[in-house]
């Protein structure tokens, strides 16, 4: 009976570890990387959700140093999507599809590998990119997980 508080504390602590963090976790990424990621991401979104009839809600704060996030919003709008940006004071609209993303460098021996993961509604899209000689190339195809 005296172990219940410890068990409860452990369960709550583990729940905090499982909470996903979203954003761009790469620092000082080359401009060409961000441009390629944005272009490829919007092309993939267009295959799944048609522009001009889809509203996208950005479900995370985008910092001023996040060139991918800023470019993504601009490019989505230029392609005909209605985009609601994240604002802590106002909840996201029920209409539309929520979008969150993670850009990270996986812990591998290959140093110039970048991974993008897009959570779009109930779908998750992911793709790896390699940076070689100031050129960005996809290191595989888009993977899509439907929930």
Give the model confidence (pLDDT) of 37-89 as tens digits. Answer: 999 999 999 999 999 999 999 988 888 888 889 999 999 999 999 999 988 88
Query: Which residues contact residue 138 at a Cβ distance below 8 angstroms, ignoring those fewer than 6 apart?
Result: 40, 127, 128, 129, 130
Give ∠ CA 72-74-80 in degrees, rounded to 5: 100
Range of the domain at 66: 22-146
Dig out the tokens for 66 from the structure: 């996040």
Total domains present in the chain: 1
Q: Does residue 40 lie in a domain region?
A: yes
**pLDDT, position 24:** 55
Distances (CA, A) of 54 to 3, 11, 30, 131, 132: 51, 39, 30, 32, 35
- Residue 110: inside a domain, yes or no? yes
| Average pLDDT score over the chain | 80
Strand partners, 102: 23, 117
């Amino acid at each position: 009976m005296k172990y219940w508080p410890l068990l409860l504390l452990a369960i709550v602590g583990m729940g905090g570890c499982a909470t996903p963090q979203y954003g761009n976790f790469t620092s000082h990424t080359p401009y060409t990387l961000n441009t390629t990621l944005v272009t490829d991401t919007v092309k993939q979104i267009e295959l799944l959700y048609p522009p001009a009839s889809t509203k996208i809600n950005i479900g995370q704060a985008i910092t001023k140093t996040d060139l991918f996030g800023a470019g993504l919003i601009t490019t989505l709008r230029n392609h005909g999507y209605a985009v609601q940006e994240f604002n802590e004071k106002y909840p996201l609209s029920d209409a539309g599809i929520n979008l969150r993303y993670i850009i990270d460098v996986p812990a591998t021996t290959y140093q110039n590998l970048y991974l993008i993961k897009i959570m779009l509604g109930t779908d998750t899209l992911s793709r790896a990119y390699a940076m070689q000689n100031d050129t960005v190339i996809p290191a595989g195809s888009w993977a899509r997980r439907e929930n």
